Structures are given as structure tokens and as C-alpha cells.
Amino acid sequence: MENSFEDLIATYIENKVGISEHFLSPTLANNLKQNLITLNEQSLLLEAGVGNSEKVSYDGAIRSDSIYWLDKKHNNAFENEFFTQIEAFIIYLNQSCYAGITGYEFHYSLYESGDFYLKHLDQFKNNPSRKYSMISYLNSNWQESDGGELLIHQANNNQKIAPTQGKTVFFKSDELVHEVLVTQNTRMSITGWLKSD
């Protein structure tokens, strides 16, 4: 587990975008994916908005995915296993980088064919608590023709990241503008933020 943590931190230090190809084990990724599929079949996902609870809007011209917030109150074994890994990473990050992270929030994200999310920053103007963004992908057998890449905009170094299963991406929430390119296939992830309140 610590190897994947170090992968995230080392690649983040190198170019402001941390990537671990195997942050999620194949078993955990498959279990989380099946959980998301079941939630979607039960019509429990909601239209994703833009903004936070104090100022939220819904605009399908900006983003068109659906979400479901993870919560320990659900007492879902696979979500709890994911939380355990995130909490271990936070301890590792705080000890090695003095990051000062005190909390987190995560949701499932589902993009159907044709869905996208235009350029944005993850930190709210009226609330700076989100410090780092993390995205863990749940897509096995993803092909280049499926699209749906995460495109991170940096000066002279735009980075296009395929949403392949088990991969996790990590970057500062207030620093990097990014977008999700149009997907041609069902695209699943867990997206969230490490916070300092």
C-alpha cells in the first residue's frame, strides 16, 4: 500500500500531478464498480451540480455526469475499505509532507456515453477547505477510442490521463484547471477531496 502512496507523492512532486496505477486493488476496484452499477440500477444517483451546498447550480452544458456521495453511515463494506485506504494515505501524506489534512469527502461519478465536464477548478471561491483532489477509476478494459480522458491544463504541459481501472490521480484543488473529455463508453470513478477545515 505504501508503494502506491509514494507513487502518488513522488509523481506529484515531479509535475504537480500524482499518479498511482494500482492505488486500488483489482478486487476493491471491482467491488466498488459493482456497487456503483447497483446504485445506478436502483436510480439512486443524482444529477451532478456545479458549486457547493451554499451556491449550487445544475447546468448540463457544463457537466453531465451523475453522482452518489459515499458516507460511513451507509455501512457498506467496500466503501468502508476505500475509506480505510484513504485515511491511511492521509496519515502518510501528513507525516511525509506536513499537508495538514483533517478530513475528506468522496462520491461515485458515472458518465454515460456522450457525457463530459468542461474546464474547472475544484476549490470553491467561497470555501477554500478542499486542498487536494483525488480520482480513482473503476473502468476495466478501457480503450483509447472510449475517450473520457481527464485533461489537466498546465503551462506547456497539458496532460491527458486515461481512466483505467485501479489508477488514482492526485493534485492541488486550487491549482490545476482540468476537464473530462467526452466519453464514448460508460465511465465510472470515485472522485473526492482531501480537506483542511
Q: How far apart are CA 143 and CA 56, in angstroms?
A: 34
Residue 25, domain extent = 1-47+63-195
* Residue 43: inside a domain: yes
* Residue 52: inside a domain: no
For the segment 71-89, the average pLDDT, to the nearest whole number, is 97
More confidently predicted of 123 and 106 = 106
Q: How confident is the model at residue 123 (pLDDT cuts 50, 70, 90)?
A: confident
* Residue 57: inside a domain: no
Number of domains in the chain: 1
* Residue 56: inside a domain: no
Tell me the pTM. 0.92
* Residue 77: inside a domain: yes
pLDDT score for 23 = 95
* Residue 97: inside a domain: yes
pLDDT score for 149 = 97
* Residue 37: inside a domain: yes
Question: Residue 146 in contact with residue 109, Cβ under 8 Å?
Answer: no
Say which residues have a Cβ less than 8 Å from residue 40's Cβ, sequence separation at least 6.
66, 110
pLDDT score for 86 = 97
Residue 188 phi/psi, 5-degree rounding, is -125, 145
* Residue 130: inside a domain: yes
pLDDT score for 48 = 76
pLDDT in tens, 152-187: 998 888 899 999 999 999 999 999 999 999 999 999
Instruction: Tell me how far the alpha carbon of residue 57 is from its chain's centroid.
Output: 20
CATH code, domain with 31: 2.60.120.620
What is the share, in percent, of the chain residues with pLDDT greater than 90? 80
Average pLDDT, the chain: 91
- Looking at residue 187, its amino acid is R
CB contact burial 25-43 (16+ within 10 A = b; e otherwise)? eeebbbbbbebbeebbeee
Residue 52 has pLDDT above 80, yes or no: no
Q: How far apart are CA 51 and CA 71, in angstroms?
A: 20
